[in-house]
Structure 1
Amino acid sequence: MTDAVLVYVGLIFGGILVAVVTALVAAGIVIVVQRFTDAARERHDGYVDAIGMVFAVVGVLYAIVLAFVVITVWDQMGSARQDSFTEATALVDVYAYAENVQDPARSEIQLLARSYAEQVIRDEWPAMQHHESVPLNGWNTLDRLREAVRGTGPHADASDATVDSYEAAMNALTTASEARTARATASTRGLPLVMWFLLVGGGLLTIAFAYLFDIAGLVSQLIFTVGLTVMVVLLLYAVYQLEYPFARGERIEADAFRFALARFAQLSG
């Protein structure tokens, strides 16, 4: 089995384990709460109505916040994946530009492009998988690559095609730099601690009110409360896995730069 398959298998089994443990704990709490609140339910006629009103307000507010966070981390994951491919594709464009440049500039540009992709895979991706800052060595290589391309600037009597090709290569380097900045930012940008406090605290409060509902029959109460609890916990599990795009279970791998290295080899014949 490949590493990617093992990661997904671990992610799925982790989710199943979280769901099963949560269901067992929730069922136990339902039984305990039912046993010790029966007398209170019988003495107060407005008990269920009051709990229902509070639960409706708290539940709606929490659902809005949780949905917003899930969408945000999912969008961040998609943007980070797109940025990595944008950066790698721009690097391929620069490498392809060098194919039409005379040596020694061609060899220097292609060597730097290949070195940059290898640095990203070898040095930067392991750091990002621990949501650490991206090393600065890659910036040095990218700056040297920019200077090497700038050194191939067309002469005054160059054809329009030559000028356009050069400008496209410089624009590709700008695109790669911007995508690199976005990737470096995403690797360390998790949810603020106060947001996790809100997610966990709001989830506990929402679930706590659900335990106090008076639904006819223990089985119905178990289905309602355990289902709600498992759903909330699984969504929090998903947020945790997606919080850092390049780390944890649902992480982005360095496939874009492996593709770039394959394209380099293809372009060089």
Structure 2
Amino acid sequence: MFYVLGEIFMLAYVFSVLAAVGVVAIAALSFRLAGKGSDDHAADGPSAGHAGAMLSALFLLVFAIAIIVPWTTADAARQNTHAESRAAIDAYWAAADLPADAVAPVRTGLRDYVTFVVKDEWPVMGHGEMHAAGSARLDELRARVVELDGGTEDQQEARGAVLDRIGAISAARAQRASDAAATPPEGLLLLTILTGLVVVVFPFLAGARPRGAALLPLAAMAAMLGFGIYLTWDISYAFAGPLAVGPEAFSGALQEFARIAGGV
């Protein structure tokens, strides 16, 4: 089903390109037959100037999308890590009202989970993946709390509160997995590369033959475009590259755990 839809969309893209080229060919033929306009062979003529401006605008549009999409994804991922760590801290606080023999095991489980996320899972997320053991640790911690029976009314309320916080951690973790696997729209990087290459070689396609010092600004532009295109690839994942979201929120949670344990 999805393969067929992908093939249909690909054919639609091809037909749209062919249709646009066909419009240009038909327009050129129609004006020639009608005897309208004048020949334009100059590298700096109106045809080349119009095409160059539109190609530059197209590249800037694609490049902006390729930058903005990962930027917003990384920002949302950063906020989600704070939500997950906050839920872990709230669960750590709520565990204080559990039966006395359950407080330490539950708090240890929370601390071990957050430590695991920082030390073991974060390096894996840089590749767009999640560590399989993370969900198992949460399930084990949830089962440990569910097994708690009896106790006072306050202890039962604390049990429900801890389970609610663990549920919030699990939901935030699922969102973190989605953030880790998120990438810019398919084909966007390829389109960025193609439009960048066309912008670089366009003066030559238009008939210009730059020599000497005229090559310097063209080379500088090509270098900057190359750097920009590399940047769009380097920030594709929220947890890797220059925009990488770090584990600061979880490291802060570990410090908060230590503070709570020392005061409660």
Question: TM (normalized to structure 1)?
Answer: 0.70
Q: How many angstroms apart in 1 are the aligned matches of 2:63 and 2:165?
A: 38
**Identical aligned pairs, as a percentage?**
25
CA contact under 8 A between 2:66 and 2:189: conserved in structure 1?
Answer: no
Q: How many angstroms apart in 1 are the aligned matches of 2:183 and 2:210?
A: 43
Equivalent residue number for residue 52 of structure 1: 49
Q: How many angstroms apart in 1 are the aligned matches of 2:207 and 2:97?
A: 74
Q: Does 1:187 align with 2:180?
A: yes
Q: Does 1:248 align with 2:244?
A: no
Equivalent residue number for residue 81 of structure 1: 78
After superposition, the Cα gap between the structure-2 partners of 1:249 and 1:60, relative to the gap in structure 1 and judged at 3 Å, is: closer
Question: TM (normalized to structure 2)?
Answer: 0.71
CA contact under 8 A between 1:153 and 1:166: conserved in structure 2?
Answer: no
Q: How many angstroms apart in 2 are the aligned matches of 1:174 and 1:241?
A: 33
CA contact under 8 A between 1:214 and 1:221: conserved in structure 2?
Answer: no
After superposition, the Cα gap between the structure-2 partners of 1:213 and 1:152, relative to the gap in structure 1 and judged at 3 Å, is: farther
Cα distance, 1:139 vs. partner? 0.6
Cα distance, 1:147 vs. partner? 2.7
After superposition, the Cα gap between the structure-2 partners of 1:173 and 1:58, relative to the gap in structure 1 and judged at 3 Å, is: same
Cα distance, 1:107 vs. partner? 1.4
Query: Please, which runs of 5 or more residues in structure 1 have no aligned partner?
Result: 1-42
Equivalent residue number for residue 251 of structure 2: 258
Equivalent residue number for residue 66 of structure 2: 69
Cα distance, 1:264 vs. partner? 0.8
**2:120 pairs with one of 118, 123, 140:** 123
CA contact under 8 A between 1:52 and 1:213: conserved in structure 2?
Answer: no
User: Greater Rg, structure 1 or structure 2?
Assistant: 2
CA contact under 8 A between 2:42 and 2:207: conserved in structure 1?
Answer: no
Q: Secondary structure at the match of 2:97?
A: coil
Query: Please, which runs of 5 or more residues in structure 2 have no aligned partner?
Result: 1-38
Counting matched residue pairs gives 222
Return the letter of the residue paired with 2:57. Answer: V
Equivalent residue number for residue 158 of structure 1: 153
Q: How many angstroms apart in 2 are the aligned matches of 1:253 and 1:262?
A: 16
